[in-house]
Amino acid sequence: MNLLLPPRGRASARPASVRPAPGWGARAWLALAVLALWAGMAVPSRAEIVLTDLTGRQVTLAAPAHRLLIDDGRFLVALALIQPDPVGVLAAWPRDINRLGKSTYDAYRAKFPAIDALAKVASSAGSMSVEQVVAARPDLAVFSLGSQPSGEERARIEAAGIPVVVIDFFTHPLTNTEPSLRLLGAATGASDKAEAFLAFRRARFAAVTDKLADLPPTQRPRVFLEPHAGMTADCCNSPGRGNVGEIIERVGGDNIGAAVIPRAFGKLNLEYVIAQDPQVYIATGGSHMEGTGGLLIGPEYTPERARETLARVIARPGFAGLAAVRDKRVHGLSHQMLNSALDLFTVEILAKWIHPERFRDLDVDATVAEVNARFLAVPVEGPNWIDLD
């Protein structure tokens, strides 16, 4: 991503003398003087904003975008880090409230009621409609890396005068979150705010990785993180080589899904999980798990309710014998903490769970409080993580 600044104007040489023609009065002399002054000033051209997205494509905006289309509601959270009114820069979004959590959506709606008037488009989990995108009339369409438009679809959108960019907080969060947020900052005229948050994020990451610099390979616990745990009868969802699996590895864990799932996300069978005998178990859930046997966690629930449902998750057949259950290293995490620009919270809480002795003094709640106070237009509320014991 680059910002192209206009060239500075050069003043032309001033005439040695200007004499009025016979019969000119004071007003004519003043007009001539003003014209001479204007002629001596170069008018700067309008600054263009050049964005390079995660696919390497470049688009140019004549001015900051104020009507974005997004295909993932979690991009709204990213915008809330850099815009005082993140809804005010949107033209359309997918209304995928489950990705935000009902309570979080209600908080955005209470502060920014204009969210109800936004056009609805397909989410990154659905099938994109070019017609919907064009009808929303955005001045920039922002798509997820894993569900970006095909070449033909992109050409049709761009033919309608709508530039397209691709960002990512899902597939490779540790690599792509920074350039993605930086792109949103440049696109919406909020580069300074984006850079301030990214500097804070880097500092928090460094505080974690510095404590793991001398970690021997033999001290990397086997970790099983089960997204949407207990949502269906079959077992088991898992990150693979990407997604939150990258975070597990970064904070000194051994993600058991990485060996057999080549993509960011996939499934493990119960026999494999039992054979791996994970030493740390983490379930994710949220209000979208209502009506299932899964984990209910987030600002809609009390810690007691979250623990009750986490206990139900590990009561499933095959889990009682796992080392993580025997050693009381069972935890619950709000799924809304994943796949967003707020991944630093997940980095810190996973570090505490995987290496509690090294991160005994790490206060994740204090990190949340600082982000709420310094950056977010709508604060994060919890509980978003819980220990079973």
| Residue found by looking up tokens 């054979």 in the block | 275
* Helical segments of 213-296, H only: 244-250, 270-276
Q: Say whether the peptide bond before residue 299 is cis (omega within 30 degrees of 0).
A: no
- Indicate left, alpha or beta for 277 from its phi (over 0: left) and psi (-120 to 50: alpha): left
Closest-CA residue to 248 (of 331, 145, 140): 331
Closest-CA residue to 227 (of 293, 290, 146, 285): 285
The whole-number pLDDT of residue 162 equals: 98
**Domain 48-190: homologous superfamily in CATH:** Nitrogenase molybdenum iron protein domain (3.40.50.1980)
**CATH 3.40.50.1980, the chain: domain bounds:** 48-190, 216-387
Collapsing DSSP to helix, strand or coil, 197 comes out as helix
The whole-number pLDDT of residue 221 equals: 98
90 to each of 86, 93, 118, 218, how far by Cα in Å?
Answer: 7, 7, 7, 48
Using alpha carbons only, what angle is made at residue 63 by residues 6 and 68, rounded to the nearest 5 degrees? 150
The whole-number pLDDT of residue 47 equals: 73
**How far is the C-alpha of 134 from the C-alpha of 151, rounded, in Å?**
16
| Alpha-carbon torsion (101, 102, 103, 109), positive or negative | positive
> Which residues, in sequence order, are CB contacts of 23 under 8 Å at separation 6+?
none
In one-letter notation, the amino acid at residue 61 is L
Collapsing DSSP to helix, strand or coil, 284 comes out as strand
Q: Describe the chain by its helix, strand, coil percentages, rounded to 5.
A: 40, 15, 45
**How far is the C-alpha of 204 from the C-alpha of 182, rounded, in Å?**
18
pTM of the model: 0.86
85 to each of 88, 109, 111, how far by Cα in Å?
Answer: 5, 11, 9
Ordered per-residue pLDDT tens for the chain, 389 residues: 333 333 333 333 333 333 444 444 544 444 434 444 444 433 334 579 999 999 999 999 999 999 999 999 999 999 999 999 999 999 999 999 999 999 999 999 999 999 999 999 999 988 899 999 999 999 999 999 999 999 999 999 999 999 999 999 999 999 999 999 999 999 999 999 999 999 999 999 999 999 999 999 999 999 999 999 998 888 899 999 999 999 999 999 999 999 999 999 999 999 999 999 999 999 999 999 999 999 999 999 999 999 999 999 999 999 999 999 999 999 999 999 999 999 999 999 999 999 999 999 999 999 999 999 999 999 999 999 999 98
The whole-number pLDDT of residue 46 equals: 54
In one-letter notation, the amino acid at residue 27 is R
Q: Which helix (H) or strand (E) holds 334?
A: strand 330-334
* Helical segments of the chain, H only: 26-39, 74-82, 97-100, 102-111, 130-136, 151-159, 173-187, 191-211, 244-250, 270-276, 303-314, 323-326, 343-354, 364-374
217 to each of 246, 247, 253, 300, 304, how far by Cα in Å?
Answer: 16, 16, 9, 39, 36
Closest-CA residue to 276 (of 223, 312, 237): 223
In CATH terms, the fold of domain 216-387 is Rossmann fold (3.40.50)
